[in-house]
A and B are shown apart, each in its own frame.
Chain A
């Protein structure tokens, strides 16, 4: 949520699928010289795609009802029982039986799943407003606080607003590599990216904290603070305070409160409850990172230039969402554990549609895209994850250029950096 410093002078063009003046035909090639995936579509065809998607959306939104409400309430109930049960088991996590600590394993596994459910199928989706229509003040985007280091207010701003509006637009959507990864050929290479396999693994392990720092725009503050206005600095300080308070509360619960409670059972379980909480948070971090990198980074997914979205209509925005996202296929349980972000394409088209309904529209979206010669990117979890890891390694190196070697480019960048002339910084 922002209080409108950049108020536009006209009503947002993305409110309509059509426009008063004809939209320009897309060029054959993007500025980077790579082919434009939508060059074969006329503005009228894109408008028609927009109308078709509006109809698909309306069919689902008009049929939301008691069974959908029952679904989310069941997931929430299940998650809470699972969390309570797991934490109860952990009270005895120190008890040894035949050489292992069964309650530690049981409690840790349960708590990991509970945290994943809370973040993915519940928190992320409730904060998107997918359940606001129920008018239940407890299951509402304005009220939900999630089990995560980042305060929900800040998450909603950076994720719902920035990422979902500017999906995969180079220089506008910082989710594209989170400012630390080069995941698209059109991102400019710098020396910083040479070590990105390391950054990537570190990021996955401490994902909730890197998201908190990212939502807080900590990196930007550190770089720009000398040039920032007093108002912006005050805003940052206010947000930082909220983030610190949230992290404090989260850590007190997981690493102090519940271990202390376990100590009260006199079974020597305090230390084991602490390790269980650490492991559960790590499992949640790695899993959510794994799911999320499959949303926009696997090969076949497109990026867009800043200039290509000027005056964008809803039809064009839809087109960008479809080309800029990728799915994961798998079992029903896998879909739930990913918070249905395995239906990333459908989610990006309709971020406020209840997540349990994405599966039913997926065949229609795929059909629509294939009819229009647009690539519906999907694959199994191992395939999509593998594709991203491959990219993270490959794109850590600079692109091949005529007349020079990659090794020479790296050495030049390193020398420049050592001489203090920059070149190591992260930028697109």
Chain B
């Protein structure tokens, strides 16, 4: 009945005007505060809508925030206490150079800002039966999912060791809190500061954490660290003890042309940088939606799941990755600017 009265809209479109945070609405949240952690990192605290169904420490959420009118999605690890009475959630992000979203969150987001949210996801978390001995290796903002685990489970962990890497002392996110845990003998902490000790070499585990082979280990940080950890534990024959969380920064380097994959039709085309994706796809036999073929009718719009494209009229780059989610593009005026994954 309500649908019949609201058509062609849906009742939710009207209800959202009154209560966008209600249970059953698309999940949204309102920023409560943005607190600096270091000069370039800050913790964002959000009141989620009533549809929020909680999280397991270590998991991440995707956050959609409008910047200059454009919605951007990014993934962040949750760091708040899962049982906090205030019902607020929080994550910590570090502003990376040219990072549109991270800079906006750290420096320009005001309390009251409405954001879109996804439910928590990810399997980078502690098992229900906690390990007798745990080791955490983190670098930079890779501390965040582990901080989520420590804040929630440190009391129940009998023996936890953490190695945290940062360029300098002032770059250590949650420095006081980590040192506080160490001072209270709840955590054995090794800070590996690059400017003092150089980049962490995993061979040093043998004397930093002599019993590392007996420990269940969680690693989060840049790709180099994760790759090194994977080969280190594999060499030791202990891959099943290793848990890693990979976060790729959302920076795509556009090129000229690229391999275009039409996943659903299982067609792959090597497209040059001057041919519209529409023409490249059709030439390879993909049944493409099309229209005016000059960029004005929007009849050819399809989701770009991953990759970068260049507008042949203006040179403008549109790019996206796994975390940012689908971006809809006009295939008739865009050419590949790197490998592209099209949802067709």
Contacts and interface: CB of A to CB of B under 8 A. Distances in A.
A138 B7 CA distance: 15
B254 interface: no
Q: Is chain A's interface secondary structure helix, strand, loop, or mixed overall?
A: helix
A8 interface: yes
Among the interface residues B7, B14, B72, B282, which one has the most CB atoms of the partner chain A within 10 A?
A: B7
Nearest to A314: B294
A1 B290 CA distance: 6
A41 B287 CA distance: 40
A164 interface: yes
B69 A15 contact: no
Sorting the interface of chain A by its residue count into under 10, 10 to 19, 20 to 34 or 35 or more gives: 35 or more
Given A3-B287, A160-B291, A66 B66 contact: yes
A11 B7 contact: no
A176 to B, nearest CB: 17
Given A2-B290, A12-B293, A66 B332 contact: no
Given A15-B333, A352-B298, A249 B293 contact: no
Interface in B283-328: 287-301, 312-314, 327-328
Contacts of B70: 69, 133-135
A136 B71 contact: yes
Nearest to B329: A132
B74 to A, nearest CB: 13
Given A11-B276, A147-B8, A253-B7, A129 B301 contact: yes
B107 to A, nearest CB: 16
Contact of B279 (A11, A14, A80, A252): A11
B85 interface: no
A290 interface: no
Interface string A232-275: 00000000000000100110110001100100000000000000
Among the interface residues B13, B282, B287, B292, which one has the most CB atoms of the partner chain A within 10 A?
A: B292
A389 B231 CA distance: 80
Nearest to A140: B328
B69 A156 contact: no
A80 B17 CA distance: 8
Interface in A324-378: 351-352
B203 interface: no
A58 B314 CA distance: 8
A141 interface: yes
B305 to A, nearest CB: 14
B68 A257 contact: no
A77 interface: yes
B4 interface: yes
Sorting the interface of chain B by its residue count into under 10, 10 to 19, 20 to 34 or 35 or more gives: 35 or more
B293 A141 contact: no
A160 B5 contact: no
Contacts of B33: none
A317 interface: yes
A252 B6 CA distance: 11
Contact of A64 (B8, B69, B328): B69
Nearest to B312: A15
A314 to B, nearest CB: 7
B8 A77 contact: no
Among the interface residues B279, B296, B299, B330, which one has the most CB atoms of the partner chain A within 10 A?
A: B296
A142 B328 contact: yes
B265 to A, nearest CB: 13
Given A15-B333, A141-B301, A352-B298, A2 B289 contact: yes
Contacts of B333: 15
Given A4-B287, A133-B70, A161-B292, A146 B8 contact: yes
B14 A80 contact: yes
A134 B66 contact: yes
Contact of A164 (B293, B296, B314, B328): B296
A284 interface: no
A160 B297 contact: yes
B5 A253 contact: yes
A81 interface: yes
B121 interface: no
Interface string B1-27: 100111111000110010000000000
A161 B279 contact: no
A282 interface: no
Given A133-B70, A160-B299, A249 B294 contact: no
A68 interface: yes
B7 A8 contact: no
A259 to B, nearest CB: 11
Among the interface residues B70, B275, B314, which one has the most CB atoms of the partner chain A within 10 A?
A: B70
B313 to A, nearest CB: 7
Contacts of A84: 14
Interface string A36-63: 0000000000000000001000100100
Given A1-B299, A160-B298, A135 B13 contact: no
Interface string B59-102: 00000001011111000000000000000000000000000000
Given A1-B299, A8-B293, A15-B333, A80 B13 contact: yes
Interface string A134-171: 11101011100111000000001100110011000000
Contacts of B298: 127-129, 132, 141-142, 156, 160, 352
B290 A4 contact: yes
A275 to B, nearest CB: 18
Interface in A287-322: 314, 317
A135 B297 CA distance: 17
A98 interface: no
A146 B8 CA distance: 6
Contacts of A67: 69
B261 to A, nearest CB: 20
Among the interface residues B69, B290, B332, which one has the most CB atoms of the partner chain A within 10 A?
A: B69
Interface of A: 1-4, 7-8, 11-12, 14-15, 54, 58, 61, 64-70, 77, 80-81, 84, 127-129, 132-136, 138, 140-142, 145-147, 156-157, 160-161, 164-165, 246, 249-250, 252-253, 257-258, 261, 314, 317, 351-352
> Nearest 3 CB-CB pairs, A to B?
A69-B69, A129-B298, A160-B297
22 contacts: A1-B290, A1-B299, A1-B300, A4-B282, A8-B293, A15-B295, A61-B314, A66-B68, A66-B69, A69-B70, A129-B330, A132-B328, A133-B70, A135-B328, A142-B328, A146-B8, A160-B296, A161-B299, A165-B292, A165-B294, A249-B4, A253-B7
